[in-house]
Amino acid sequence: MKARVTVSLKPGVLDPQGRAIRHALESLGFAGVGEVRVGKVIELELAPDTPRETVEEMARRLLANPVIESFRVDMADAPAEAP
């Protein structure tokens, strides 16, 4: 099964990479570009039936820096929840 962890800077944390992209887009002639934020996506191939909690623990312990980053976990082929 696959899981995807999306890591983004928390609101208010300065994003120099995003700012550089914004300026580069303006230099290329793209008008009307406002704030740009850059994050990471980590796609993991995992053993079947790995619980979401395990992936969240991976994110907390390694993939994201909880001081400045937040993360979201998306599970592919997640076992269907009871309706």
Q: How far apart are CA 73 and CA 54, in angstroms?
A: 10
29 or 83: CB nearest a copy of itself: 29
Regarding 37 and contact with a copy of itself (CB under 8 A), the answer is yes
Regarding 33 and contact with a copy of itself (CB under 8 A), the answer is yes
What burial letters (b/e) apply to 58-72, b meaning 16+ CB within 10 Å? bbeeebbeeeebbbe
Regarding 32 and contact with a copy of itself (CB under 8 A), the answer is yes
Contacts to a copy of itself by CB under 8 A: 6, 8, 18, 21, 24-25, 28, 30-47, 50, 54, 57-58, 61-63
